[in-house]
Amino acid sequence: MGLQSLVSGVQISPSPLWFSTFSLRTRLFHNHQPFLKQNKKPSTKLTSKEATLLDYSEEGRTLLSELSSAPLEGFATYAVDASIAEFMKDAKNEVEKGHLYLLWHLLYVEEVLEDVAENAIIDGAYDCGIDAYLVDTSEKRIRLFQSKYGEAHSIGAIDKFVKDVDRFKKLEQSKIRRDELQYLWKHLHEKNMKTELVYVTDNNVDEYESGEVKVVGKEQVYQILWERIKKPAKGEKSSLRILKCLEHNNALCCIVSAFDYADFVERNEHYAFESNIRKHLGGKGSINKGITKTLEEYPHNFFEWNNGITITVDNYSMKNNQLSLGGAQIVNGAQTSKSILDRKKKTTNLDAEVLVTIIKTKDEKHQRNITKYRNSQNAIKGKDYVSLEDYHIAIHSMLQRIGYFYEHQQGSWLNLPSSEKAKFNGNEIYNKYISDKKEKCRIKDDTAIASMVSYFEQKPNDVYGGIGKYLPKGAKYETVFDDELECDYRYFLFPHLIREYAKNELGYDRSSAQNRYKKYAQNLFVAVTARIIHKNILGKNDDFKKDISELEKMIQNIGLFSKILKTTDKVVTKFLEDSKVEEKIDEANTAHNFFSNQVYGKSMLEVIDSKIRQEQEEIDYIKKIFSDI
């Protein structure tokens, strides 16, 4: 939503030109043509059917014939390199540059939250050759990073990294000097835990052949980010065997064998679902169960009972009973498609037929409307819109009206001209809660979602452990962005203001000298603030979102809300200093493990509530002030 964000377009000198993306933070790595290298001629020219950034804006499409390769050639310089330069501009020496480059990589290439990225970096004395690590317990995966900036890079450094990790694994745990590395060592020896080595450098690295380490140099970064923003179906070719067909204008109505359709889905599912409005729900919903049951028990009735599938394409052609499709996107019928494929994998007797409608359109708005209006098999509301971005576009527009830039598209802020950035001045009252930094009115989607989930869902540990699960396609995305979620910018803005105030005014950042655990506790601070406001001041215990108007009144009273936030700080500080918490952190081996797994468990909530009760006198005073407003 968030979603840490980088690229959605480029600038073409001399005038800036930026382009919006169609997919919201897709995490796909397809076999697209690699990004064209800076200052090098491509080995093959892009044809008119292959995707360029110009395809994603009206201005770009107008200039497509004149500038067919210019956006690609400018992407690295005007988007990626510019982002890195801006991020590292305050570095005073090569050491600081190296540290910031690794941090940039974690934020924009690995896409982790800012506080998680900062705490993941462990380079320094006795680091055993490991500069950073990320542990994902849900995916049973550990990523180990070594970063070499500038002249520090060499092929030998890559080989040394592999050997250092192997040597680290063989160490005795008791001989490891740093706590966080002892914790890492323990995880590396867990059963079924997958380890990935990532070597990061700002240099250009030729193909390094090794199954042991992934090398990410400048060219690899360009390609990863380029593929992430490309419309995935562009340029993809596929074929579909049909039984019968009726053609009308730019559409085909086809009867297709379920077996042949399953084969089509299996060959093309890595890109074909990108524009679909509803994700496949794994057979859990009533519709999926019905589809599966019909395929298993009544296959001959499937054509009559099922609504069928809609596919949009850039172009199509037909020879005999074989359709050739360009840029196919399944815009309605994802559940049907996946259910048919699942059934094919279980049996060779898939004796059913399905209606497939194919519509030719290259117009993005037209495709969006087809997707929207064809999805009426279920009520489509809330956040079933996966890649169409309607919800977040609306949030972006709402926040823009009050002076804030909600960055739900990668790179959309970076590629704004300075004159446009200057228009985002925020709100006089809300600005009191954020720092006076240059980009104070920029709200990054993933951080905003982390704050929202921490506040309204009361799951600060969940987002600290990895925000990816709450982004589109994440395992828990639909638990938050469901049919009931209203489109209200306040759900994002207010928790964001709370986080910013904690970070900038109360020491919840990496530079904090007040308490060594505060830098991990931004999400916790947001969650505890909500607990104090809704359970103790307003006296509510149900959905906190129902109290959004009361929360707005509080935030607009700067004196009152500052008291609330300072009360939260007292509660969180006392919590972090409590002996029971210290014991839990010791048991967890590291603060990272504690804050991503245990910080909001039952026993810890009891400690938090006891600290809140210690501030009851102040809370009662705040309640009285609020009742008089």
Q: 49 versus 349: which is more confidently predicted?
A: 349
386-428 pLDDT tens trace:
333 467 778 888 999 999 999 876 667 766 777 888 899 999 9
Are residue 200 and residue 120 in the same domain, yes or no? yes
Is 330 inside any structural domain? yes
Grade residue 114 by pLDDT with cuts at 50, 70 and 90.
Answer: confident
Is 337 inside any structural domain? yes
The mean per-residue pLDDT over the stretch 216-228 comes to 82
Are residue 220 and residue 244 in the same domain, yes or no? no
Are residue 148 and residue 110 in the same domain, yes or no? yes
Are residue 111 and residue 197 in the same domain, yes or no? yes
- Report the distance separating Cα 188 and Cα 142, nearest Å: 8
The mean per-residue pLDDT over the stretch 354-383 comes to 68
Are residue 203 and residue 249 in the same domain, yes or no? no
HEC assignment per residue over 563-584: HHHHHHHHHHHHHHHCHHHHHH
Mean pLDDT value across the chain = 79
Q: 25 versus 61: which is more confidently predicted?
A: 61
Half-sphere exposure in the Cβ direction for 626 (13 Å, CA): 26
Are residue 222 and residue 324 in the same domain, yes or no? no
Are residue 356 and residue 250 in the same domain, yes or no? yes
Grade residue 282 by pLDDT with cuts at 50, 70 and 90.
Answer: very low
Residue 150 has pLDDT above 90, yes or no: yes
Grade residue 41 by pLDDT with cuts at 50, 70 and 90.
Answer: very low
Number of structural domains found in the chain: 2
- Most confident of the following: 9-23, 314-328, 386-400: 314-328
Helices within 22-178 (DSSP H only): 58-63, 70-75, 82-87, 94-108, 114-120, 155-170
Q: Which of 374, 392, 424 is the last residue of a domain?
A: 374
Grade residue 360 by pLDDT with cuts at 50, 70 and 90.
Answer: very high
Provide the residue range defining the domain that includes 283: 237-374
Q: 111 versus 378: which is more confidently predicted?
A: 111
Are residue 223 and residue 241 in the same domain, yes or no? no
153-202 pLDDT tens trace:
999 999 999 999 999 999 988 888 887 788 788 888 887 889 999 999 99
Taking only Cα atoms into account, the Rg of the chain, rounded to an integer number of angstroms, comes to 26
Residue 525 has pLDDT above 90, yes or no: yes
Residue partners of 281: CB distance under 8 A and separation at least 6: 288, 335
Pair 142, 195: CB distance under 8 Å: yes
- Most confident of the following: 425-439, 476-490, 555-569: 555-569
Query: Which of 58-72, 74-88, 146-160, 603-617 has the least mean pLDDT?
Result: 58-72
pLDDT at 288: 67
Q: Percent of the chain scored above 90 by pLDDT?
A: 41
Are residue 209 and residue 128 in the same domain, yes or no? yes
Are residue 106 and residue 192 in the same domain, yes or no? yes
Grade residue 232 by pLDDT with cuts at 50, 70 and 90.
Answer: low
Are residue 247 and residue 349 in the same domain, yes or no? yes
Query: Which of 54-63, 139-148, 535-544, 553-562 has the least mean pLDDT?
Result: 54-63
Are residue 220 and residue 242 in the same domain, yes or no? no
Pair 17, 59: CB distance under 8 Å: yes
pLDDT at 530: 96
pLDDT at 279: 39
Grade residue 568 by pLDDT with cuts at 50, 70 and 90.
Answer: very high
Residue 57 has pLDDT above 50, yes or no: no
Is 499 inside any structural domain? no
pLDDT at 183: 78
Grade residue 361 by pLDDT with cuts at 50, 70 and 90.
Answer: confident
pLDDT at 384: 39
How is residue 486 written in tokens? Answer: 């209203």
71-93 pLDDT tens trace:
345 566 667 887 888 888 888 89
Q: Which of 309, 344, 374 is the last residue of a domain?
A: 374
Is 382 inside any structural domain? no
The mean per-residue pLDDT over the stretch 199-226 comes to 86
pLDDT at 42: 34
Residue 517 has pLDDT above 90, yes or no: no
Q: 591 versus 547: which is more confidently predicted?
A: 547
Pair 1, 471: CB distance under 8 Å: yes
Is 327 inside any structural domain? yes
Is 381 inside any structural domain? no
Rounded to 5 degrees, what are φ and ψ at 565?
A: -65, -35
Pair 581, 575: CB distance under 8 Å: yes
Q: Which of 353, 374, 395 is the last residue of a domain?
A: 374
pTM of the model: 0.60
Is 547 inside any structural domain? no
Grade residue 228 by pLDDT with cuts at 50, 70 and 90.
Answer: low
Residue from 302, 296, 294, 276 nearest 344 by CA = 296
Is 349 inside any structural domain? yes
Q: Percent of the chain scored above 70 by pLDDT?
A: 77
